[in-house]
Amino acid sequence: MSSTPHPLTPIPSEQPLKPLAALPLLGMSLEELTTWVQQQQQPAYRGKQLHQWLYQQGARSLTDISVFPKQWRADLAEYPVGRSHLRYRAQANDGTIKYLLRMADEQIVETVGIPADKRLTVCVSSQVGCPMACDFCATGKGGFTRNLHAHEIVDQVLTVQEDFGQRVSNVVFMGMGEPLLNTEAVLTAVRSLNQDVGIGQRNITVSTVGIPGHIRRLAQHQLQVTLAVSLHASNQALRQQLIPSATHYPLSALLDECRDYVRLTGRRITFEYILLAELNDCPHHAEELAAHLRGFQSHVNLIPYNPISEVDFQRPSEQRVNVFAQGLRDRHIAVSVRYSKGLEADAACGQLRARQETPALHPR
Ligand code: SAH
């Protein structure tokens, strides 16, 4: 376990998306697809057909679209639709399925399908790797490779939807990466998931560890999505011990920005708080956290730590978790506990990395 602060680590900056030779079709709106077919000298109604085939029928290539003229399909056979290839699939006993998907440039991205009652939640990645290097998170251990494009995010949701044969009801940006370091693609993907795939904005959650200025910027878009902020500590010293970037973004500044978000959007924030035994899960931490959040339109989601191999943090006992949660409730803080699913498939929060570490339980 690291206990030293990280004074020299700067906050990673937002990397531009690499331009692509041809813009993949996935992630485009009906209007954009209509413009695209017209540029291809086709009648406008083909835009609607294309939209339907991409988002409802799961077309993986333009040659799949049987309602299109044969010659046109042949001409466009190589045009990128934007679908990934399944590299690996592992199912945990609770039904959670983890997928490794191969992108056009061979990069591997991890995504997770989580069934619960009638719901199907997809935990999507927003980056290949992650530059934030939080101590307790497996993704950060592998470093950062690149931002994902919008179509690569939408593809993850369609892939899970097709594999389960069930409509996706919820999407959480809690896979690999820091979504607010890839805002443009994340916003485009949110638009497409909402308007093209048909997932309600209120059923979409964007989770961030906090990048200065970016939460306020997000508020200006006036989305209905839920913002989740990874707090994980009840004071600055503890937070910067766990999260390198926190050294340059004091807890007080982060909370000020969150307050602005609530004021500007009228929406409450979810604060995620990972529970690490004996480190941040003592009754006085609950008291300290409650003091910060008093009167804040928010909700605390406690996440008992999911073990990763590189560090020796411990998951607290259920009893410690309950005492912590009660400590918050006693101070009128709304709280829930997230016992992550998919643990034995290494598919739980913080366990995502783009390689097959453990033998698959039911590999395909
Ligand atoms: N970068 C974003 C989203 C990625 S992770 C963020 O930091 O919010 C989604 C959630 O899982 C975050 O709250 C993250 O801190 C948490 N997490 C990371 N590693 C974990 C672990 N080992 N056990 C439990 N939760 C973890």
Helix/strand/coil for 7: coil
pLDDT of residue 78: 93
Q: Which residue among 147, 349, 353 has the greatest number of ligand 1 atoms within 8 angstroms of its CB, and so is best to mutate? A: 349
CA angle (185 as vertex; 183, 154 as ends), nearest 5: 130
Q: Which residue among 135, 137, 214, 352 has the greatest number of ligand 1 atoms within 8 angstroms of its CB, and so is best to mutate? A: 137
Q: Catalytic residues, which ones?
A: 110, 349
Q: How far apart are CA 80 and CA 204, in angstroms?
A: 27
Q: How far apart are CA 344 and CA 94, in angstroms?
A: 9
Q: Is residue 48 a contact partner of residue 34, using CB atoms and an 8 Å limit?
A: yes
pLDDT of residue 352: 64
Give residue 220's Cα distance to chain centre.
20
Helix/strand/coil for 275: strand
Helix/strand/coil for 57: coil
pLDDT of residue 88: 94
How many CB atoms neighbour CB 131 within 10 A? 19
Helix/strand/coil for 74: helix
36 CA to centre of ligand 1 in angstroms = 38
Closest CA to 239 of 285, 173, 294: 285
> Considering only CA atoms, which residue is closest to atom 13 of ligand 1?
230
Q: Is residue 178 a contact partner of residue 134, using CB atoms and an 8 Å limit?
A: no
pLDDT of residue 309: 86
349 CA to centre of ligand 1 in angstroms = 5
Domain residue limits, the chain: 30-75, 85-355
> Considering only CA atoms, which residue is closest to atom 4 of ligand 1?
174
Ligand 1: residues with CB < 6 A are 134, 136-137, 174, 178, 207-209, 230, 272, 274, 303, 305-306, 308, 349-350
Tens-digit pLDDT profile for residues 316-345:
999 999 999 999 999 999 999 988 777 766
Tens-digit pLDDT profile for residues 58-85:
999 999 999 999 999 999 999 999 999 9
77 CA to centre of ligand 1 in angstroms = 40
Helix/strand/coil for 310: coil
pLDDT of residue 226: 97
Q: How far apart are CA 73 and CA 21, in angstroms?
A: 20
The mean pLDDT values, 10 residues at a time, for the chain of 364 residues are 50 87 94 97 97 97 96 95 96 93 96 95 97 93 95 98 98 97 97 98 98 97 96 98 95 97 96 97 98 94 92 94 98 93 69 52 33
CA angle (17 as vertex; 199, 123 as ends), nearest 5: 35
Which option is the CATH number for 85-355: 3.30.470.20, 3.40.190.10, 3.50.50.60, 3.20.20.70?
A: 3.20.20.70
306 CA to centre of ligand 1 in angstroms = 10
Q: How far apart are CA 336 and CA 128, in angstroms?
A: 29
Helix/strand/coil for 322: helix
pLDDT of residue 360: 36
